[in-house]
Chain A
Amino acid sequence: MKTQKQSAIRLRGLEKSYKDLRVLRGVDFDVAPGSIFALLGSNGAGKTTVVRILSTLLKADKGTAAVNGFDVAAQSANVRESISLTGQFAAVDEILSGRENLVLVARLRHMEEPGAIADDLLSRFSLTEAGGRRVSTYSGGMRRRLDIAMSLIGNPPVIFLDEPTTGLDPQARVEVWEAVKNLAGSGTTVLLTTQYLDEAEQLADRIAILHRGRIIVNGTLAELRAMLPPAEVEYVEKQPTLEDVFFAVTGGSDTDGEDRRTALEKK
């Protein structure tokens, strides 16, 4: 019980099967409050299943899970008060405007002045200009930013981001990464699932690898690196990566350009 207080998220022996398919075969890990924890795994490793159990959308067959000290099965209402979920597909309403999406979530979280909260988040995520437009006109990166902005309403202590950058272009990925870093900087615990190694490397304080339903490795990036034989020093000419080239020729992060492109796509 005492240790529950120390972990923002705590899983013990979590098991889940879909009929004969054993997706989770005993998953254990802890996430410290205010840290970014990356759950790394290939497609079908069970990452989304873990997130769905933690966000009370799915019941585990065996084992326990606690979020913010509340048991996900017995105290699901308290868990829902403590979390925000950003699922694999941007869970935004396409027909509403960006601002209306934010106002809706603020109303559902019973916040006072939903309009002011919406305007504040729109400016924090550089969406003020697009705020009045229907989300169906947004680019993938803008949708993701809106999606994450919606998750911040009510300042939940724990946020689940399920593959937040899947399907995004490199520019939008960097924007999402910035948003996630800012989150953890303000004390929010972030559980991030990803299949991109560089994403875990960029963002996470701790990384766990989920493989065939079990956590096979769990540690900091330095600890994970130390598991392999010490690096041999070799001298190689540094070639720019394709990503470096991409950013050099496109001029880096530029939200106006994104807006312009969406406007063109509409035509």
Chain B
Amino acid sequence: MATHFLGDTAALTGRTLRHVTRSPDTIITTAVMPIAMMLMFVYVFGGAIDTGSVSYVNYMLPGILLITIASGIAYTAFRLFTDMQGGIFERFQSMPIARSGVLWAHVLTSLVANVLSLVVVVGVALLMGFRSGAGVGAWLAVAGILILFTLALTWIAVIPGLSATSVEGASAFSYPLIFLPFLSSAFVPTDTMPGPVRWFAEHQPVTSIVNTIRDLLTGQPVGNDVWTALAWCVGILVVAYAFAMATYRRKIS
């Protein structure tokens, strides 16, 4: 059965990718909210926020990218949920295929869809004056961290996708994830926050990821933040994967 894993996953990924390309509105709606936030923060609040020598659009883009991913994975949960409800999931599970390929197809599709949304958001940021002097290596590192973050959140999304009983339930989990960047260094420096909030902001995953991406894009040395960021991403990925697979096994047994 293992020999079929790649072929089966490819066939199933082709199917879910068509769902994305045939409803490109999911890419647009994923990108619209982060873009709206970006417009509001840059042109309304940004002038009042002191980010030192960095222009505000450059400062906040990393946080906006994480929000884009957090809202994009809601569609992953939604697509998986729809498969579960419609009976096609059971059809696949009753066929002589590598059964976990069904999940991997959704995960790979989630990666592709989120990368497309990220490209749209970065494009708008460029129009709004975002500039980066980062080299190819730094850009690749940014891409790597964003992909790792997408993978981690995607496996979180698999859990409600498999177990939700309503469409709302399947996507509601993403709201706190979308909100998390506001309690971080994504939009304002953490220095002015009151004690407990500041402590939380400085110790939650988003801050280290945002700081790493910001340093990479502005050509600063990344320091220890990169290791904290990678540890968070890998940690979330491993835990979410374990829970998702446990949920999956409960579903198919």
Contacts and interface: CB of A to CB of B under 8 A. Distances in A.
Real binding pair: yes
Interface of A: 52, 55-59, 77, 80-81, 83-85, 87-96, 100, 104-105, 107-110, 134, 150
Candidate in B19, B22, B86 with the most chain A CB atoms within 10 angstroms? B86
B23 interface: yes
A108 B11 contact: yes
Contacts of A58: 253
A150 B1 CA distance: 21
B87 A88 contact: yes
A70 to B, nearest CB: 12
B215 interface: no
B96 A109 contact: yes
Contacts of A59: 253
A100 B92 CA distance: 15
Contacts of A87: 87, 90-91
Interface of B: 1, 4, 7-8, 11-12, 14-15, 18-19, 22-23, 86-88, 90-97, 252-253
B86 A77 contact: no
Given A57-B90, A58-B253, 10 more contacts: A55-B90, A59-B253, A81-B96, A87-B91, A88-B87, A91-B87, A94-B86, A95-B22, A108-B8, A134-B22
Given A95-B18, A108-B97, A109-B95, A85 B90 contact: yes
Nearest to A110: B4
Contacts of B93: 56-57
5 contacts: A91-B86, A95-B23, A108-B8, A109-B95, A134-B22
B93 to A, nearest CB: 6
Given A107-B11, A108-B8, A108-B97, A100 B18 contact: yes
B75 to A, nearest CB: 13
Candidate in B86, B90, B92, B93 with the most chain A CB atoms within 10 angstroms? B90
Contacts of B91: 85, 87, 91, 150
A104 B95 CA distance: 12
A198 B247 CA distance: 41
Given A77-B1, A107-B11, A108-B95, A91 B253 contact: no
A81 B1 CA distance: 11
Contacts of B22: 95, 134
A160 B95 CA distance: 12
A140 B49 CA distance: 58
Given A89-B86, A92-B88, A104 B15 contact: yes
Interface of A is mostly: loop
B94 A55 contact: yes
A83 B94 contact: yes
A107 B253 CA distance: 25
Candidate in A55, A93, A150 with the most chain B CB atoms within 10 angstroms? A93
Contact of B90 (A91, A93, A150): A91
A204 B202 CA distance: 69
A90 B87 CA distance: 7
Contacts of A55: 90, 94
A93 B97 contact: no
Contacts of A80: 94-96
Contacts of B11: 104, 107-108
B90 A96 contact: no
A91 B15 contact: no
Nearest to B3: A110
Contacts of B97: 108
Contacts of A100: 15, 18
Contacts of A56: 93-94
A104 B4 CA distance: 14
Contacts of B88: 91-93
B94 A57 contact: yes
Nearest to A52: B90
A81 B94 CA distance: 9
B131 to A, nearest CB: 39
Given A90-B87, A91-B87, A95-B18, A85 B94 contact: yes
A89 to B, nearest CB: 4
A85 B93 CA distance: 10
